[in-house]
Structure 1
Amino acid sequence: MNKRNKNLIYSAIGIIALFLIFVAVNFIASKINIRLDLTEEKLYTLSQSTRSVLKKLDTPVTLKLYYTKSSNMPSFLKNYAARVLDLLNEYRQTAGSRIIIEKYDPVPDSEAEDSAVMDGVTGQPLNTGDKIYLGLAVQCLDQTVALPFLSPDREQLLEYDVTRAISQITRTRKSLIGVMSALPVMGQKPTPMMMQMGQFNQTPPWMAFRELKTDYELLEIPMASEKIDPSIELLVIVHPAGISEKMQYAIDQYILKGGKVIAFLDPYSFYAAATAKNDRTAMQPPMTNSSLDKLLKAWNIGFDQEMVVADMTYCKRMVTPEKRMSFPTVIDITSDGLNKEEVFTSQLESVTEAFGGAFTGEPADGLKKSILMKSTRDSHLINSYLASNFEMVVKEFKPDDKEYALAIKLSGKFKTAFPDGKPEAAGKKEAAPAGDSIKESQKDSVVVLIADSDMIFDELCVKTSNIFGQTITQPLNDNLSLFYNLVGYMAGDSDLIQIRSRKVISRPFNVVKTMQSQAEQKFKNKILELEEDLTKAQERLSKLQEQKSKNQKSILSPEQKEEIKNFRQKETKAKQDLKVLRKELRQGIDSLETRLKWINIALMPGIVILFGIGFAIFRNRRSFVK
């Protein structure tokens, strides 16, 4: 056997051996079910909080995944369904026999489709008239919680949604939520004084709380109370104007026992001001500001009850035939001002505040602060008595070049704001014994502070219309979504509080975005130029019209006809220029995408070929040396 044949035999044996080793490794790995998450976002690694929820399960939970497998299913949804299934397998691997996964393909007119409908999973219609399914039903005993459609847009919240559904289905009762407010957020019956004044109508509850009643049990806590029912799982405070120290002490002790709080404070409540203005029975000036001064001081959080945030970037604008108006103290916070790493704010796009304030300072030891909403640097603090004078605010506005925290979350172990115990009652000289008071929480708790209470009032967050006798409510922004997200997050399983939204790394095409931005700027300049020409043309036409006699007002003069003709020519040219600009933009982007496509196709084979050539040259040189 010559040397050449011998080398060929050894090479063949080596390739066969590598193949067998590869098969053996895959077989062993499939049996012991080892998983390695190499994604930068750790998409397929369950958080410790999810593991805690699964550990508490004492009854098997079935995860029924409905997804269409036919060719009608768009490829991006097929890929997402595979990722969903990978995550569900992670649940099963963690919980063992307590998690059961069932997969269904709901083809039309099948038992699987009937099952999907019964479980609350809805089909999404296509242009062809067919339906596709990608949903999840979580079942335990006779209870079912459905995620009707798993959208890839919520992939970063997928673990949270599934874990929350498991937590909800294993609960045996509705969560009890306490509601405390100086405003009639739960509705109000007419008082005897109001009835004497001829006011018999009952004030309905705010929409935010009417909706909460469907999923939670609500308990109204009067502002004059001195204790909080320990069975309350979440306390919602809205504009606690005039709150007593005793009530703040009760809130303090509730938090130290592990209670959770959402507090809407306000430097200027326009609802309170408007209500007092229209209330002829009011015997005292309205209390338009509110705070939890004792508690905030103990937490080392500043909140000035007299100062309102004005933001010229987020300010609400309105254009009328007479002029363009800006409302700097009524702000529409975009996604740039919302925390994208928190579950309850990560998917929101716009939140509106009216005359809201700001929180300052770093929290006390043992507490962690997370800013949920913030202003832009083009913002300024202004005294609340000037806040509704929008022209004055604009005139006096000077940006502070500082981002103000509009809503924050405090978490950790809280310490009491009343080290001497319960404050003494009016007329008493001695305080209650401090021995019965809790000084520091034994476990972590959470408090969310929002510097505006009007944001969940109906007029600021929903639009109501009557269609064929039915009241239809449409959201104006994401205000109610934020509120419901917060309540669902904090009134659920305590382990859910620690789950962050999965941070999907964005890898944008910056070159394409730059090209689009430049084109948009050109569009904007062209449009502004056209609008300016139109304004000038209208002014010239008006002057020509004024120069005509009364009996010629309805007849166009030769000068007016010429002016209209010139403007239409400019308008036509501008439209042609915009059309050319759009075409150039598309060509530039298409050219860039083509180059990227060829690079992606040819890069890896090219590297392999170059490596092969280099390795061959290296071997030939070694053989030549020998």
Structure 2
Amino acid sequence: MNSASRSTFGRLGLVAVAVIFLVAVPLSNTILRGARIDLTENRLYTLAPGTLHVLDGIPEPINLYFFFSNAATARTPFFRTYAGRVRDMLHDFARQSGGKLRVTEIDPVPFSDEEDRATQYGLQGIRLDNSSDPVFMGIAGTNSIGDQQIIPFTDPRKEAFLEYDLAKLVYSLAHPERPVVGLLSSLPITAGFDPMTQQIRQPWAVVSQLRQVFDLRQLDTGLDRIADEIQVLMLVHPKDLSEKTLYAIDQFVLRGGRLMVFVDPWSEADPGTPDPGDMTGSFGVRSSSLGRLFDAWGISVPADTFIADDRYALQVLGPDGRPVRDIGLMGIGKEGIDQDDVITAGLDAINMGYAAAISLREAAPVTLTPLIRSSRL
């Protein structure tokens, strides 16, 4: 593994996020750890470790209803073939659930009670042509307290996300009281008003996804206490936090709270804090850290260093338009990804730019479990 100072490179880097797993289980261990986005053509492999984790955690029976228009698709083998794949996956889920997941297939023929039921659930029927009956191919789920979740239509174009969508549906029914996650970030990653553009700022995609599963609460970067109901604290690019905020984070960890920290030595999403020692008027400080907390925990994440890896270097266009390899931009393959941990199992490649180098100091009171490694070149 080679490290290079960011001063070697005179241009902006890509957003790099280094995940520090501190003294508690990360958020990913709570739900959908490693839930696969299956990019194979026919989804012929076993369920992902994250999906199995979800199925093992079902406390009470859940009913899944697969509404499929059998007669209306008699002359459309494409839909029938895909329906078979959906059906197979549903039964895979049921087999792995220990009897907690019950799957029923329903044919909502036109003008029937079954069609009315599909409509009441909110499932969508599509017409293959102007004269055909509507085709239903959606999923409705219910739990023992009457909660409902649906996939309005299992679109064949989104087959790669089918297992993930089903796992999320099952989890939502198995755990109707969503875990409370506190989000503290120095970046504008949530929705809001941008005074610079005078427009509404859209949330980052990851925030929108988190809100679908968790009770996500945005926290102020100047807080002095973390509420007791916060189960997981997520710090994204924590920068220039005050002593009272660092103390509150420390107390949260000491009382058993779960903590995730995303730090970056060179964040393109950060406009930069002016460096008083830099008279050139350049980009300013774009790094993040937990300062003395990292020191106390024995964690080293140098703010002026990123990973440079010739083996995993990605190709980009140079100033002259020719392709060149950028050793700061890495495409790490399967051999550099932990395939035994449910968080990363099943991932074939991860691209990242100007990522932090993480290590532990001698006699550190925490354990470092690398999920992604650069090469030894």
User: Do these two structures clear the TM 0.5 threshold for a shared fold by scoring above it?
Assistant: yes
Residues 64-79 of structure 1 mapped to structure 2, 5 A cutoff: 64-67=65-68, 69=70, 72=77, 74-75=80-81, 77-78=83-84
Residues 54-203 of structure 1 mapped to structure 2, 5 A cutoff: 54=59, 57=60, 61-67=62-68, 69=70, 72=77, 74-75=80-81, 77-78=83-84, 81-82=87-88, 84-85=90-91, 87-88=93-94, 91=97, 94-95=99-100, 101-107=103-109, 110-121=112-123, 135-140=138-143, 141=145, 143-147=147-151, 148-149=153-154, 153=160, 160-161=167-168, 163-168=170-175, 170-171=176-177, 175-186=179-190, 187=192, 201=198
Distance 1:154 1:288, change over 3 A: closer
Larger radius of gyration: 1
**Greater percentage in helix:** 1
* One-letter amino acid matched to 1:53: I
Residues 9-24 of structure 1 mapped to structure 2, 5 A cutoff: none
**Are 1:136 and 1:146, in contact at CA under 8 Å, matched by a contact in 2?**
yes
C-alpha RMSD over aligned residues: 4.8
Q: 1:53 aligns with which of 46, 49, 58?
A: 58
Name the TM-score, length of structure 1 as normaliser: 0.40
Equivalents in 1 of 2:189, 2:163: separation in Å? 33
1:120-178 per-position Cα deviation (integer Å, ceiling 9, x unaligned): 5456887998886654321245532124439775687688445413235x32xx65432
1:223 is matched with 221
1:468-520 per-position Cα deviation (integer Å, ceiling 9, x unaligned): xxxxxxxxxxxxxxxxxxxxxxxxxxxxxxxxxxxxxxxxxxxxxxxxxxxxx
How many residues align? The count is: 313
Gaps of 5+ in 1: 1-39, 191-198, 278-282, 378-399, 402-626
Pairwise CA distance, 1:328: 3.1
1:235 is matched with 233
Report whether the alignment pairs 1:317 with 2:316: yes
**Are 2:182 and 2:219, in contact at CA under 8 Å, matched by a contact in 1?**
yes
Equivalents in 1 of 2:160, 2:205: separation in Å? 25
SS in 1 for 2:189: coil
**Are 1:106 and 1:116, in contact at CA under 8 Å, matched by a contact in 2?**
yes
**Are 2:150 and 2:169, in contact at CA under 8 Å, matched by a contact in 1?**
no
Identity %: 21
Distance 1:217 1:134, change over 3 A: same
1:369 is matched with 369
**Are 1:182 and 1:239, in contact at CA under 8 Å, matched by a contact in 2?**
yes
SS in 2 for 1:304: coil
Pairwise CA distance, 1:266: 1.1
Equivalents in 2 of 1:267, 1:238: separation in Å? 13
Pairwise CA distance, 1:238: 1.8
**Are 1:291 and 1:305, in contact at CA under 8 Å, matched by a contact in 2?**
yes
SS in 1 for 2:269: helix
Report whether the alignment pairs 1:291 with 2:289: yes
2:201 is matched with 204
Name the TM-score, length of structure 2 as normaliser: 0.61
Pairwise CA distance, 1:315: 2.3
* One-letter amino acid matched to 1:355: Y
Equivalents in 1 of 2:322, 2:46: separation in Å? 49
SS in 2 for 1:264: strand
Pairwise CA distance, 1:310: 2.4
**Are 1:121 and 1:149, in contact at CA under 8 Å, matched by a contact in 2?**
no
Equivalents in 2 of 1:374, 1:301: separation in Å? 17
Pairwise CA distance, 1:231: 1.5
Equivalents in 2 of 1:68, 1:342: separation in Å? 40
Distance 1:176 1:87, change over 3 A: closer
SS in 2 for 1:272: coil
**Are 1:309 and 1:357, in contact at CA under 8 Å, matched by a contact in 2?**
yes
Pairwise CA distance, 1:267: 1.2
**Greater percentage in strand:** 2
SS in 2 for 1:261: strand
* One-letter amino acid matched to 2:58: V
SS in 1 for 2:270: helix
Pairwise CA distance, 1:181: 2.4
* One-letter amino acid matched to 1:88: A
Pairwise CA distance, 1:214: 5.7
Equivalents in 2 of 1:325, 1:294: separation in Å? 39
